[in-house]
Amino acid sequence: MFDALKPQPADKILALMAEFRADPRTDKIDLGVGVYRNADGVTPVMRAVKAAEARLIETQTTKAYTGLLGDPAYSDAMISLVLGGAVARDSIAAAATPGGTGAVRQAFELIRMANPQARVFVSNPTWPNHLSILKYLDIETVAYRYFDSDTRGVDFDGMIADLGQARPGDVVLLHGCCHNPTGANLNAVEWQVVIDLINKNGLIPMIDIAYQGFGDGLEQDAAATRLVASSVPECLIAASCSKNFGIYRERTGLLMAISANSAQTPLNSDTLAFLNRQNFSFPPDHGARVVTTILTDDALRADWMAELEEVRLSMLDLRTQLADALQQRAGSDRFAFLAQHRGMFSRLGAAPELVAKLKEDHGVYMVGDSRLNIAGLNARTIPVLADAIIATGI
C-alpha cells in the first residue's frame, strides 16, 4: 500500500525552517516562519499565559471531554475579543478548532458542503497553506490581484476588478489585518468598497484573522472584521490565538459562522460540530482554557494586553529601524514601505534569485517570495540585514 504514495509538495515556509536549522553558520538570520521573537531571539511564554496555566493546574479537576464545539465560555470570550459586540451573539455559530489553520480547514469544508459550486477568491499572494488546503479539498480557487509590486501597497483597482468577476455564492477570502505575506493592508474606505461589492454581487466573505493586536492595536486590528461581519448577511471568520497569546503549539483557534437570521444558527452549530467530529472529534482544550481564563479575569487580561502592546510596539520599532537603516544605505526612501506595512511580515518585492543570494551569501533566510518576518530581527541584525540587502542589489 505505502509504496503507492507520492511525495507531496513541501510547504515552502516549513521547508525553509528545516533548511535554516541545517545551516551550520553561526551568524545566520531566521526571517522565515511567522513566530514572534524578542530582542534575545526567544519566543517567550507570555506572563498572563504562565499565570493562567498555574491557575489551571491548581484548580482543574477533570480532563474529561468538552463538547464537540469546545467550551462555550471560550467561544463567548473569543467572539467578544474579535467581534466586540458588532454582531448579535445568537446569529453566530462557533467551533473551537486546532489552531487558526484548523478553523480555516473547517471553514473550507463547510463551504464545500453548503455549496460545492462555490469558488474561493484568494489574494495574490496569500498564505501558501490557504492554497494548499483548497487544492487538497478540490475547491476551485481564483486569484485576485492584491499586491502592487511597484508601490509595495495594495493594488486596489486590480483587486476590485478581479472580485467583480465573482459569481453570487462565491467566497472571498480576506485577511482581517496584517496581511500575510505582504504586510500591505486595505484602509477603511477600501474595506467599505469591498463590502459594497460583496453585498451587490451576493458574495460570501471569509475572514482569516491570525494577527489581531500585531498591527495597529487590538481594537483597530479587529475593526475591518467587525465592519464586514455587521454589514453582510453571511460571513465566516477563522481566528487564531497562536500569535497574540503566543501559544503556537497549543493549537487554539475558533471558527465563526454568522448568518443574518438567528433561526439558522442551530443548524450551523450542528454542522460545525459534525465537521469537528469527522476530522478530530473534540478540539484541543488547554490553550482555549488558558485564553478564556485570561480574557475573563480583569487583572490577567490587562497584563496580557500590556504585554501584547509591548510586542506590537517592538515590531513597529523594528520596522522603523530597518526602513531608516536602508534609507541611509540606499540614499533614497524606496524602502519606506517597510514602516507603512503592518503585522509580522513585509514583502520586500525582490526576485527569487536575490532572495536565494541573501541566503547563500549572507545567511539571511526569508521565504522565497521575499517575505520577511520583522519579529525575527533585533538591533544587532538590522544593520547586517540592511548591508546584505544593499550588497545583493535589491
Binding site for ligand LMR (CB under 6 A): 13, 33-34, 127, 129, 180
- The SS3 call for residue 165 is coil
Cα–Cα distance, 250 to 355 (Å, whole number): 32
Identified catalytic residue from 210, 229, 350, 375: 210
C-alpha cell of residue 389? 540587502
Query: Of 203 and 374, which CB lies nearer to ligand LMR in the complex structure?
Result: 374
CB of 2 to ligand LMR, least distance (A): 26
Query: Of 180 and 265, which CB lies nearer to ligand LMR in the complex structure?
Result: 180
Identified catalytic residue from 208, 221, 229, 285: 208
Concatenate the DSSP letters of all residues of 84-134 into one string.
Answer: TTSS-GGGEEEEEESHHHHHHHHHHHHHHHH-TT--EEEEES--HHHHHHH
Query: Of 242 and 271, which CB lies nearer to ligand LMR in the complex structure?
Result: 242
CB of 344 to ligand LMR, least distance (A): 8
Closest CA to 362 of 394, 325, 318: 394
CB of 358 to ligand LMR, least distance (A): 18
Identified catalytic residue from 48, 118, 127, 339: 127
CB of 157 to ligand LMR, least distance (A): 27
Identified catalytic residue from 162, 243, 257, 388: 243
Closest CA to 163 of 121, 118, 134: 121
Alpha helix (H) ranges present in 205-297? 218-231, 265-279, 286-295
Query: Of 172 and 375, which CB lies nearer to ligand LMR in the complex structure?
Result: 375
Q: Let me know if 243 is a catalytic residue.
A: yes
User: Residue of minimal CB distance from ligand LMR?
Assistant: 34
Find out whether 293 and 55 touch, Cβ atoms under 8 Å: yes
Q: Let me know if 359 is a catalytic residue.
A: no
Cα-Cα-Cα-Cα dihedral of 200, 169, 70, 46, to 10°? -60
Q: Let me know if 304 is a catalytic residue.
A: no
CB of 16 to ligand LMR, least distance (A): 9
CB of 369 to ligand LMR, least distance (A): 11
C-alpha cell of residue 39? 530582542
CB of 183 to ligand LMR, least distance (A): 12
C-alpha cell of residue 18? 528545516
Cα–Cα distance, 143 to 290 (Å, whole number): 37
For residue 252, report the phi and psi dihedrals to the nearest 5 degrees. -130, 110
Find out whether 68 and 277 touch, Cβ atoms under 8 Å: yes
Q: Let me know if 191 is a catalytic residue.
A: no
Find out whether 365 and 32 touch, Cβ atoms under 8 Å: yes
Find out whether 136 and 145 touch, Cβ atoms under 8 Å: no
Quick one: DSSP state of residue 282? Answer: S
Residues recognised as catalytic? 127, 208, 210, 243
